[in-house]
Structure 1
Amino acid sequence: MARVISKTTYSSLLNSVYKLPYRNRVQTLQKLFPQLSVDTLKCVVAQECQRRMKGSHGRLTTSEAVEVLYKRYTNSISMSEEPGILLRLSDENGLTPALLARSIIERHYQKSDKTKPAKLLVSTLMKNTALIDDRDLAFETYLCLLEDDEYGPIAEAAKQSIGYEYEIRLRMELEKCRVSFLHEEHLRVKGYDKTPDIKLEIPVAVDGQVINWIESKALFGDEEVHRGYLKDQLYSYWNRFGPGLVIYWFGYVEDLEKIHQNRIILIRDALPMNMIFMEQNS
């Protein structure tokens, strides 16, 4: 299935994502965009969710908005409504379950003078709901975390795990191709601070371009994502090691390479199999 997406298709995909409720969006998107892989759709949905939640979090920082949601929650508890109260509230308000649960926890632990609880406490409770002092809130939060594939500690842990999985996959594929390289841990031992995932000991050529390093990204690359990585990571790799390659394993929007202007950073959705070893031409 396609993983390199035209700008038109990507724009249409985002418009569809915005119109759908937060939960169970991927199943609907599969029907609308059958040419795209499930992994690509999941990744796009998760990234857009993160962006939208940054904006939504502003709404939940106002005491009035949180108070309304908290009263609705406590009223539902007092009326012995079926479990899943916070899930239903999240659907109604266009918020991810985990973000809503976090706001309710903050309000629950708010002091009498309306001082908010420490962020560390809230984060700890989100990671271990058994520590929440209210049984109903503990269970409601637990349900929210189970249902939220895009935001919260479980989603973040899954993201980190997938990222590491694809780094290992890249190393294994390079070893299979008999490419000599140093990985991130090797480079840090040597004293480098900002390091790519892979530094090739002997450069290779891909489509006529010399490659000195490879960065693995287990996500979808759109312009906003890529510009962020260019600023925070990729340009520093280019300055130190020269031209390189970024792999967006779940696909990317076409023409991203044009952003770099004169700095050569190739973009692919898998390790290229047409690598030419530089020593072969020496």
Structure 2
Amino acid sequence: MKLETYNGIIAMIQKYSCDDKSQKSDGQCSAKDQFSSARDLLPEIGKHFPGVSLKTLGSIFSQEYQKKMRKSHYHHYQGHVQDYYHQVYLQGVKQGKDHIILSLAGEVDLSPAQLARIILEKHLSGSEHDSESPRRPLVTRLMKEPCLIEDPLLAKEVHECIICDDHYGSFVDCIKHSIGHEYECKLKQTLDDLGLTYIDEDQMRDRGYDKTPDCKLEVPIAVDGHVVNWIESKASFGDEYSHKGYLKDQFWSYWNRFGPGMVIYWFGFIEELDVHQAKGIILRDSFPENIVTML
């Protein structure tokens, strides 16, 4: 995908999101409306980009949303803001309201799972002026298993937020892990069908390697004139932010240890990012057909 196309998709995502929000009488979206609209707008955006799949659009949307949450993360975790969110929740409980945290998440434009965690942390700390926060492992465990929260109303609210959040939370983590595993299996099946011998990351870790790609070829192949010793599978779209992080934390380590290799972004990538071919890292959006094997 060209950078120009990617920028066009991002601009349209932002436009549709703003248009949907402005259509509300009070200028705010409920959390349910917010996430329903997010899913519904993707097919409409796809009409303007016929060569882009819905899976790719979904990955781009998810990455853009997470960037937005990271930028505003600090603001929502400030002490007085946490106090305000907790007070709104307590007031809603007194009034017998339902979907308190979910509705508040839509009003403040924050991920429901993140807001649920903020309110849970404040609730566990006791007094509004208590500066001692609960231990992070405890909060993480309760977010994964809301049924362990002693307050049944809060447990229900937290569970609802986790279920309704498309981008954060334990359910989303499980889905991402499952999709990643699915595409790793697809890569291995392709290698098996081609009769290429390889070792996977579990086998490499057994041999003492710390940072490992998904597959290390026992015999290198060539792709468009580039030697490939290892292959990394990414069940996501390769945008500038994520690709830069992967290069720093993973790809250059693989290159330094195993030599040149290939990264497959199954949901596509920005073509202008494929600038390290000469150094030994090539990008593809599927397993290439024109490979050359060693006789």
TM-score by length of 2: 0.88
The aligned residue for residue 222 of structure 2 is 205
Retained in 2: the 8 A contact 1:26–1:41?
Answer: no
Return the match for 1:44 from 55, 60, 65: 60
Return the match for 2:284 from 268, 273, 281: 268
The aligned residue for residue 209 of structure 2 is 192
Deviation at 1:128, TM superposition (A): 0.6
CA–CA distance in 2 between the matches of 1:132 and 1:55? 29
Deviation at 1:111, TM superposition (A): 3.1
- The yes-or-no answer on 1:59 pairing with 2:53 is no
CA change 1:210–1:262 in 2 (3 A) is closer
Partner SS, residue 252 of structure 1: coil
The aligned residue for residue 7 of structure 1 is 3
Deviation at 1:155, TM superposition (A): 0.9
Q: 1:139-168: CA deviations, max 9, x gaps?
A: 111111011110111111211121112111
Partner SS, residue 210 of structure 1: strand
Once the two structures are aligned, what percentage of the paired residues are identical?
42
Deviation at 1:88, TM superposition (A): 1.1
Deviation at 1:256, TM superposition (A): 1.3
CA RMSD of aligned residues (A): 1.6
Partner SS, residue 255 of structure 1: helix
Larger CA deviation: 228-237 vs 43-52: 43-52
CA–CA distance in 2 between the matches of 1:141 and 1:273? 47
Deviation at 1:48, TM superposition (A): 2.1
The aligned residue for residue 106 of structure 2 is 91
The aligned residue for residue 27 of structure 1 is 40
Retained in 2: the 8 A contact 1:49–1:151?
Answer: no
The aligned residue for residue 128 of structure 1 is 145
CA change 1:120–1:28 in 2 (3 A) is same
The aligned residue for residue 31 of structure 2 is none
Q: Which runs of 4+ in 1 moved over 3 A?
A: 16-19
Deviation at 1:65, TM superposition (A): 0.8
Retained in 2: the 8 A contact 1:220–1:249?
Answer: yes
Larger CA deviation: 24-33 vs 89-98: 24-33
CA–CA distance in 1 between the matches of 2:179 and 2:77? 31
Return the match for 1:153 from 167, 170, 179: 170
The aligned residue for residue 272 of structure 2 is 255
Partner SS, residue 35 of structure 2: coil
Partner SS, residue 219 of structure 1: coil
CA–CA distance in 2 between the matches of 1:219 and 1:56? 23
Retained in 2: the 8 A contact 1:238–1:263?
Answer: no
Retained in 1: the 8 A contact 2:42–2:58?
Answer: no
Q: Name the aligned partner's letter for residue 184 of structure 1.
A: E
Aligned residues: 273
Retained in 2: the 8 A contact 1:16–1:29?
Answer: no
Q: Name the aligned partner's letter for residue 272 of structure 1.
A: P
Residue segments in structure 2 that go unaligned for 5+ positions in a row: 22-33
CA change 1:277–1:262 in 2 (3 A) is closer
CA–CA distance in 2 between the matches of 1:67 and 1:189? 48
Q: Which has the higher contact order (CA 8 A, sep 6+)?
A: 1
Deviation at 1:261, TM superposition (A): 6.7
Q: Name the aligned partner's letter for residue 3 of structure 2.
A: K
